[in-house]
Chains A and B, each alone.
Chain A
Amino acid sequence: MFGLSTKDTTLLLFVAALTLLAPFLLNPFPENSAMAQFNAGYPDLMQRFVIFGTFAIGFNILFGLTGYLSFGHAAFLGVGSYGAIWMMKLLTLNVIPAIIMGVIFAGLFALLVGYISLRRSGIYFSILTLAFAQMSYALAYSVLTPITGGETGLQLKATDTPLLSNLAPGEIGRANLFGVDMRSSYELVIGDWLFTFNAGYYIAAVCMLIGFYISIRIFRSPFGMMLRAVKSNQQRMNYTGLNSKPYTLAAFVISGMYAGLAGGLMVAMDTQVGPERMFWTASGEVVLMAILGGVGTLIGPVLGAGMIKYMENILSKINDAILHQWFAFMPDGIENLLVAIFHPFIGKGWHLTLGMLFMLIVIFLPGGLVEGGQRIGRIFRRRDRKADSVESDAAKQRKPAE
């Protein structure tokens, strides 16, 4: 189906089902129960899952296939965001032109940065991309204030009157898709459970699914094979009559466009942007998402993005009072002890948990979450000697970068 093999179609449908049913799947605990802390099915967080998923899918096309490790991809995300918000300020509050603008801007900027950075490989390439991104960040923060809004960034304001919208004087515009407000939600109450279906989330989710589909096509195309050849042996590639530069540049621009899509989606959701979106930590985050999930696998980056965003949002909200509530059934001494043990890992300490998770994953699951999934899968179907898991061939592409 869709020009994909059965395996890939299954994967695509699986991911589609997960994302479309996310409001249910992510809210497994009844409202007001002690476990409701772990519910992630609220619009803001779900949007972040799919937006960063998109970002990571695109990053993986570059890093996973060609092995070129960009440390500056957040710059494209930021540029996409700025492009999108200007589209909304000037032209229309409809998100589609904004998102398209984000993709185009990011693509053009990636073309420029990629053209220069790809003259070098290895860590030299990484540092070049880092340098470009940090420069973009610094400039957006300072000199380019007239177009970036400097430190405060850009928001939709009452003074913005987009050409194609008929706002009442003084009304602040809201992002919409042909009239459907991005922030509008439908809430479904079933017993103690509350499920929220948010328009913005579904738009972002559809964008991610399209992105995911395209990424599968790229992985399975001759172009994708060439990219893997670049990673494997660039010298042999050249002596085979292939010019590796246009391939890597195309991959770079494509992944930059994914970042721009993510940036445009962010603006479509919350109609604001600030320069910190381009800071190196943001670039580092997408690298970690890809590695955590499984570099070079199709679904890994999405899992990695989900994992990191989940921890960031859920763990950081848990506090001692909640811990006490959980462990209230224990004798007081043990309760206090448990709270004291868990205290460093929650709330502001969620970074600690994240750091330990990184270490544990790399030490015990070098292939990331996907490898973990495969190991579990293998336990369940031992007899299947061929290990025809959807990801196994992609996972084999990993190699030491030495």
Chain B
Amino acid sequence: MEAIILQILNGLDKGSAYALIALGLTLIFGTLGVVNFAHGALFMIGAFCAVTLQRILSLSYEVVDDTRTDFLGNPLKVDVPYVNGWFGPEMGQTIIEWSVPLAILFAIPVMMFVGYAMERGLIKHFYKRPHADQILVTFGLAIVLQEVIKAFYGANPIPTPAPPAFTGSFDFGALIGFDPNQIIYPYWRLIYFTFAAFVITAVFAFLQFTTFGMVVRAGMADRETVGLLGIDIDKRFTMMFAIAAVVAGLAGVMYTPINSPNYHMGMDFLVLSFVVVVVGGMGSLPGAVLAGFVLGILESFASMAEVIDIIPGINQIIIYLVAIIILLTRPRGLMGRRGVMED
């Protein structure tokens, strides 16, 4: 029992990332009808927003510390971050340590802009083009973005730790009445899941309860009719693209303490996210979220030593195996609609 709960918990954070990326992919596909291979790159850019903010906050000036000397006996020069100067050393240090959560605020406008620019500058011209063209151009864009990031930040993963308050683990088992030390769970993963749940709820609430969201949903169901009503659906779809970019970006920001960001993290997630979207059913938002969590959790179960002993190698293939089974038994994925992208 403890083992099962532990695996579910372990699956949640990866599942959350899948769900967030898949949600954005589905939004873009459902609204704009575009297969966006650059969506993984948005996730990656989000993660590098966190890196960037961390670097900005750590920008320092040199101060000569007379009280200490280096090994030659000269007064020691130390780097003091500007924030220390402004907020005092303690507060400054805390701000730097909290750079990942703070990066959320930083990433939202950045991702909005990136999403907006991408849609207006490139994707817009590909609405009516074949999916093959969309794939090629967004794939090209993904490579370009990835290489640009590599040029600026190098090829190695960059550690971006969570605030010290959240770096440890806690005994989740003891909390819910199991024996202590059975279910140890890192704080940050819990935060990631909670955050993902919050973002997903926010997106759904936005679509459900605002007029804007209603129009978008109607547009997803039947673009032409909504267009006939004299509503400028394109403008709203552009907004949706920006929102999807923000969702992917935030998923990336918060993922940095779990896996140090590198330039190819976007591609790594992209392929699995596509599997997630399709398993959930093309064009279905709840399907994308559901499939994200289901596959994340199954993946974590399959990597249990007990399971691998019975079926060797299952941890490597579980997602694909499940995808095949679901697609064969449910032709349009878990919650897909008829006729979406079937030819």
Seen from chain A, the residues whose Cβ lies within 8 Å of a Cβ on chain B are 67, 69, 116, 119-124, 127-128, 130-132, 134-135, 138-139, 141-143, 234, 280, 284, 287-288, 291-292, 295, 344, 349, 351-352, 354-359, 361-363, 366, 398-402
Contact = CB atoms under 8 A, between A and B. Distances in A.
Which of A67, A122, A362 has most B Cβ within 10 Å?
A: A362
Interface string B196-218: 00000000000000000000000
A127 B342 CA distance: 12
B148 A359 contact: no
Interface residues of B, number: 46
B140 A139 contact: no
Given A139-B313, A400-B128, A401-B343, A352 B143 contact: yes
A323 B312 CA distance: 51
Interface in B132-172: 132-133, 135-137, 139-144, 146-148, 151
B129 interface: yes
Given A69-B132, A124-B327, A291-B136, A354 B317 contact: no
Contact of A362 (B137, B279, B324, B327): B137
A67 to B, nearest CB: 8
Given A120-B331, A124-B278, A130-B271, A349 B137 contact: no
A366 B323 contact: no
13 contacts: A122-B341, A123-B341, A134-B271, A134-B320, A142-B316, A344-B151, A349-B151, A351-B143, A352-B147, A352-B148, A355-B143, A355-B147, A398-B130
A344 B342 CA distance: 40
B119 to A, nearest CB: 15
Contact of A400 (B35, B130, B148): B130
Contacts of B275: 127, 130-131
A87 to B, nearest CB: 25
B333 interface: yes
Contacts of A355: 139-144, 146-147
B274 A127 contact: yes
Contact of B133 (A67, A138, A362): A362
B131 interface: yes
Interface string B114-137: 000000001001001111110111
Contacts of B328: 116, 119-120, 128
B342 A121 contact: yes
A138 B143 contact: no
Given A124-B332, A130-B275, A363 B130 contact: no
B140 to A, nearest CB: 3
B144 A401 contact: no
B334 to A, nearest CB: 12
Contacts of A288: 136, 139
A359 B341 contact: no
Contacts of B141: 355, 359
B148 A358 contact: no
Those 10 A-B pairs whose CB atoms lie nearest each other, nearest first: A358-B140, A355-B143, A138-B316, A143-B313, A131-B320, A352-B147, A359-B140, A355-B144, A122-B342, A362-B137
Which of A127, A132, A287 has the most B CB atoms < 10 Å from its CB?
A: A127
Given A122-B342, A124-B327, 7 more contacts: A123-B341, A128-B324, A134-B271, A352-B143, A354-B140, A359-B141, A402-B33
A355 B140 CA distance: 4
B321 interface: yes
A121 B324 CA distance: 13
Contacts of A398: 130
Contacts of A356: 140, 144
Contacts of B103: none
A139 B316 contact: yes
Interface string B279-319: 10010000000000000000000000000000011001101
Contact of B137 (A132, A352, A363): A363
Nearest to A352: B147
Given A355-B142, A359-B141, A124 B331 contact: yes
A362 B126 CA distance: 10
A352 B144 contact: yes
A134 B322 CA distance: 13
A361 B129 CA distance: 14
A69 B134 CA distance: 13
A280 B140 CA distance: 16
A291 B132 contact: yes
A79 to B, nearest CB: 16
A354 B144 CA distance: 8
A127 B122 CA distance: 25
Contacts of B35: 123
Interface in B20-51: 33, 35
Contacts of A120: 327-328, 331
B263 to A, nearest CB: 10
